[in-house]
Amino acid sequence: MNIGIVGLGLMGGSLAKAVKKYGIAKKIYGYARSEKSKKEILELNLVDELVDIKRLKEECDLIVLAIPVDTIISILPEFLDIKDSTTIMDLGSTKEFIVKNIPKEIRKNFIAAHPMTGTEKSGPKASMDNLYEGKTVVLCDLEENTELHKNRAIKIFQDIGMRIVFMNSHIHDVHACYMSHLPHAISYSLANTVMNHEDPKSIIALAAGGFKDMSRIAKSSPDMWTDIFKQNRENLLKGIDLFEVHMKNVREMVENEEYEKLAKWMKKANTLHEIL
Amino acid sequence: MNIGIVGLGLMGGSLAKAVKKYGIAKKIYGYARSEKSKKEILELNLVDELVDIKRLKEECDLIVLAIPVDTIISILPEFLDIKDSTTIMDLGSTKEFIVKNIPKEIRKNFIAAHPMTGTEKSGPKASMDNLYEGKTVVLCDLEENTELHKNRAIKIFQDIGMRIVFMNSHIHDVHACYMSHLPHAISYSLANTVMNHEDPKSIIALAAGGFKDMSRIAKSSPDMWTDIFKQNRENLLKGIDLFEVHMKNVREMVENEEYEKLAKWMKKANTLHEIL
């Protein structure tokens, strides 16, 4: 099988490395737009060959779109003429909007996937050969795909060591909001709270594990995350509102010195870790 | 030097291990109240001997209070008759209220310290011999201490590999609020947002690094953190209000689809990582 990867940043580059590590592809083709990315991809030896979209469609059995979610939508028209036997797949963090926008010509070929993994880093240099190992990938609305494409997608994720979860794309977006999009909005807000203080440097001199963990994802790419917030707008607004209820709660309990109630509320939060 | 540690949970137990690792004390004495803790402390061999407060005061050159911040206040009357040459020190996360409540009889002996380190775990079994290594400790209002006690405190933290920062206790509490107390309030709120959802289990099945990091400290002890919120109440309320401005901002930008403004706001958050 030949695999083509569009976008060789953190997600695409790591996929290329994993595919190479496990000897899954005969040949790995890559497509990148910027000259800077192309140079880095070649230096890192991420793919066997960088090609244009035309060659990608000719050579590959599986084409993976590892690009920001809005770019996934805008690039789709270029893939309307793929072969029946070519699988095309995206790795975007939102799924419902993408699924709704898959052109009917390639609906059967198109696998909507979301590997629940990543780091705050981006670009080819951020890629790691073990990013996917032991992590979960969500495959959405597979009943719209033919067996060939479905099985090919399942096999590749199994081969790189992932746990597979099947889910409706709408439900996926609700869950991904709580597990990833809302936490990003919160982390960006916390980082901005500190950066807008009159003296962020001496405050951050005291940073320990708690703040480091809570602000790590505030380093994530604004372009990528603006697109995600846009595509999962409704769920994110709902998520923020529910989170805000709890922020108001804790503020009120502290303000009113209701410490027993506060401890009880914290205990409820502790129960998360019976699951996680 | 003999060292006595009151409370041998995460902070006190880890201090005992570090002191032993670096051969700093001739003998380490411990004091614990609950039978469960005593049993664990002895099983883990954290101290040379468990004693009562009276023996602790007789035997130790340095007594460390590694207990919740409200308990620090309530236990202080038991230490009014320590020798002039005995150093007493607390490791609490808040400093201004504690400093204000140090009885004048022992003000010169009392070192207000806050090691900026920890994990979400608590109890003797959570202790680690490298919890303090390479981390920062804040020493507050040292101008109130005599040289003997000041130098003893500085030396022990240097000996266990810590970076020392000197700070006014009021400023400390503001900074600690942003770096630790506010992040805890946020993490508890995020955990509660998810735990109050109708189906937390299937949502959390998709948890990856982002959510795991953001919810880790929501596992922290409610008793300990209720006390901290209580003692740093004013700063925490102010911190929550400033954070809430940003949560309102992000909600508004998403609601109004102001995506360029949103990307700019995220970029501002990114700048945190030029410092951290």
Partner B contacted by A204 (CB < 8 A): yes
What percentage of chain A exceeds 70 in pLDDT? 100
Phi, psi of A138 (to 5 degrees): -100, 125
In tens, the pLDDT along B189-202 reads 999 999 999 899 99
Q: What's the gap in Å between the CA of A50 and the closest CA on chain B?
A: 30
Instruction: Give strand pairing partners of B62.
Output: B3, B87
- Domain end marker among B110, B134, B167: B167
Would you place residue B184 in the very low, low, confident or very high pLDDT band (cuts 50, 70, 90)?
very high
In tens, the pLDDT along A113-147 reads 999 999 999 999 999 999 999 999 999 999 999 99
Structure confidence at residue B273 (pLDDT): 87
Residue B40 in 3-state DSSP? helix
Q: What is the Cα–Cα distance from B2 to A106, expressed in whole angstroms?
A: 76
Q: Do residues B56 and B106 both lie within one domain?
A: yes
Q: Do residues A141 and A22 both lie within one domain?
A: yes
Top residue of A131, A206, A217, A252 to mutate, by most chain B CBs within 10 Å, is A206
**Helix, strand, coil percent content, chain A, rounded in steps of 5:** 55, 15, 30
Structure confidence at residue A3 (pLDDT): 98
Interior angle at CA A42, CA A36 and CA A45, nearest 5: 140
Candidates A81, A20, A90, A99; CA nearest to A62 is A90
| Mean pLDDT of the region A78-105 | 98
In tens, the pLDDT along B60-94 reads 999 999 999 999 999 999 999 999 999 999 999 99
Complex ipTM more than 0.85, yes or no: yes
In contact, B214 and A217? CB cutoff 8 Å: yes
In tens, the pLDDT along B230-270 reads 999 999 999 999 999 999 999 999 999 999 999 999 999 99
Would you place residue B170 in the very low, low, confident or very high pLDDT band (cuts 50, 70, 90)?
very high
CATH of the domain at B113: 3.40.50.720
| Mean pLDDT of the region A242-257 | 98
Q: Do residues B42 and B69 both lie within one domain?
A: yes
Q: Do residues A81 and A209 both lie within one domain?
A: no
Locate all alpha helices (DSSP H) within B22-122, ordered by sequence: 35-43, 53-59, 69-75, 96-100
Structure tokens belonging to residue B56: 């602790």
| Mean pLDDT of the region A228-246 | 98
Predicted TM-score of the model (pTM): 0.94
Candidates B130, B118, B86; CA nearest to B105 is B86
Quote the DSSP letter at residue B181.
I
Q: What's the gap in Å between the CA of B215 and the closest CA on chain A?
A: 8
Does residue A255 have a pLDDT over 90?
yes
Please give the tally of structural domains in chain B. Answer: 2
Partner B contacted by A136 (CB < 8 A): yes
- Domain end marker among B123, B140, B167: B167
In contact, B16 and B40? CB cutoff 8 Å: no
Q: Do residues A8 and A97 both lie within one domain?
A: yes
Answer yes or no: do A211 and B179 touch at CB < 8 A: yes
Would you place residue A273 in the very low, low, confident or very high pLDDT band (cuts 50, 70, 90)?
confident
Partner B contacted by A104 (CB < 8 A): no
Q: Do residues A30 and A162 both lie within one domain?
A: yes
Name which of A192, A215, A241 is nearest B246 (Cβ-Cβ): A192
- Which residue is closest to B273 within chain A, CA to CA? A219
Does residue A240 have a pLDDT over 90?
yes
In tens, the pLDDT along A152-208 reads 999 999 999 999 999 999 999 999 999 999 999 999 999 999 999 989 999 999 999
Q: What is the DSSP string of A141-193?
A: -GGGS-HHHHHHHHHHHHHTT-EEEEE-HHHHHHHHIIIIIHHHHHHHHHHHH
Q: Do residues A141 and A219 both lie within one domain?
A: no
Q: What is the Cα–Cα distance from A13 to A41, expressed in whole angstroms?
A: 8
Answer yes or no: do A250 and B188 touch at CB < 8 A: yes
Structure confidence at residue B78 (pLDDT): 98
Tell me the CA distances in angstroms from B28 to A188, B18, B20, B122, one per residue in order.
44, 11, 8, 21
Query: Which range of residues forms the domain containing residue A264?
Result: 172-275
Q: Do residues A180 and A162 both lie within one domain?
A: no
In contact, A232 and A182? CB cutoff 8 Å: no
Structure confidence at residue A276 (pLDDT): 87
Q: Do residues A161 and A51 both lie within one domain?
A: yes
Would you place residue B276 in the very low, low, confident or very high pLDDT band (cuts 50, 70, 90)?
confident
CATH of the domain at A178: 1.10.3660.10
Cβ within 8 Å of residue B272, ≥6 positions away: A191, A194, A195, A200, A204, A215, A218, A219
Q: Do residues B157 and B204 both lie within one domain?
A: no
Structure tokens belonging to residue B268: 């501002």
Q: Do residues B210 and B134 both lie within one domain?
A: no
Answer yes or no: do B237 and A247 touch at CB < 8 A: no
- Domain end marker among B167, B201, B216: B167
Answer yes or no: do B236 and A215 touch at CB < 8 A: no
Q: Do residues A234 and A116 both lie within one domain?
A: no
